[in-house]
Structure 1
């Protein structure tokens, strides 16, 4: 097996673990800040005004991105831990386990890619839908926007730093998750080739050893 591939795989797994966990933490923080900001806005509006803030688009996709980033981090960590157990030298541990990890990381990175595209688009191009009413009478958007400015609140997603960060970091988790999957496939294939070569060499040696006594007698 190539040492270069083994080292690159470990480095990539370490990076996918780090960025997976960092993205998980940042996105959890973003969800918490979003809820806190909504609560603050509802408290700051004049008495009698009912406010509805719809962020379902960015919230739904953001939750999935957060979960998948965490799963990528966890899978990468388990693969790293497995790689550092020197005693696990059987063909199963050298080939089958990395191959299973590659399949799992491939699935997770595809899932993340399918989710992070709409999430990034929502953050870049959309904003929260805010409606308000006073005594059951809907307020105009002009009044709502004026109140937003007065309270220092913006519904535009890309103007919120925690959402921008939450949309950027998962891309790094995706990148290193994909490279870890690719390198794990290469590593597993090389392990299978090395195991086949070792088995073939052992068979030839046994055959040669079995034939030697007869040759000496002749």
Structure 2
């Protein structure tokens, strides 16, 4: 079992943890979208009686956050598949080359791809969240409301256009970094397991060749 399922226990543990954190990262993205939409709707409703139309543009953070959430969701999906394969191979009768071991190269590649995906999105999300803010514009009767009045209204409503002031933005930024960290570790361990599988196969081939050579030599002697 040890030879046919290299690094089985650490792989199973890390895959399970990465799956859970992938779900958390995806949930953080969904939560940010819902909270952002609710916040914008509340602002528009608060000034609707004054016949003021408000536009809140958060596309920079929103788009990168959606791509980040999709990456975390895909990570959760693929790790759940890898967990299923590894668990099935663990409870089945031992074989020399189970499917969870045969696909280690593919697993490592997918994990590496999604880890890079999440990291690239995190760089953008972190930059926007730490330094950016929503672009807010208000109009009444087709005339733009002065920015000073818009800022005063924001303060009265308790709204801050600075991204980092929003709790859901901080969650969106921080939670996926933990997901990325463990996804990276899981990827490294998967590559190590793939390397062990290759080394084991080469050793088996060498032993087989030695055995065949000895059998031929014995046959010649006889």
Question: What TM-score do the two structures reach when normalised by structure 2?
Answer: 0.88
Partner of 1:50: 53
Residue 72 (structure 1) aligned with residue 78 (structure 2) = no
Q: 5 Å matches for 1:24-35?
A: 24-35=26-37
SS of structure 2 residue aligned to 1:154: coil
SS of structure 2 residue aligned to 1:91: coil
Partner of 1:21: 23
Contact 1:91/1:192 (<8 A) preserved: no
Partner of 1:63: 66
Cα root mean square deviation, aligned: 2.2
Structure 1 gaps of 5+ residues are: none
Tell me the CA shift for residue 15 of structure 1: 1.6
SS of structure 1 residue aligned to 2:103: helix
Contact 2:68/2:122 (<8 A) preserved: yes
The correspondence for 1:124, drawn from 101, 120, 130, is 130
Q: 5 Å matches for 1:77-88?
A: 77-86=80-89, 87=92
Deviations 1:140-186 (A, max 9, x none): 11111111111122211111111101111111111111111111111
The correspondence for 2:186, drawn from 153, 171, 180, is 180
Residue 189 (structure 1) aligned with residue 195 (structure 2) = yes
Deviations 1:83-103 (A, max 9, x none): 122247443735441111111
Distance 1:189 1:4 in 2: 9
Distance 2:84 2:122 in 1: 28
Contact 1:95/1:189 (<8 A) preserved: no
Contact 1:91/1:195 (<8 A) preserved: no
Bigger shift: residues 84-93 or 44-53: 84-93
Q: 5 Å matches for 1:141-160?
A: 141-160=147-166
The correspondence for 1:39, drawn from 36, 41, 48, is 41
Question: What TM-score do the two structures reach when normalised by structure 1?
Answer: 0.90
Structure 2 gaps of 5+ residues are: none
Distance 2:212 2:75 in 1: 45
Contact 2:6/2:197 (<8 A) preserved: no
Contact 1:123/1:164 (<8 A) preserved: yes
Contact 1:131/1:138 (<8 A) preserved: yes
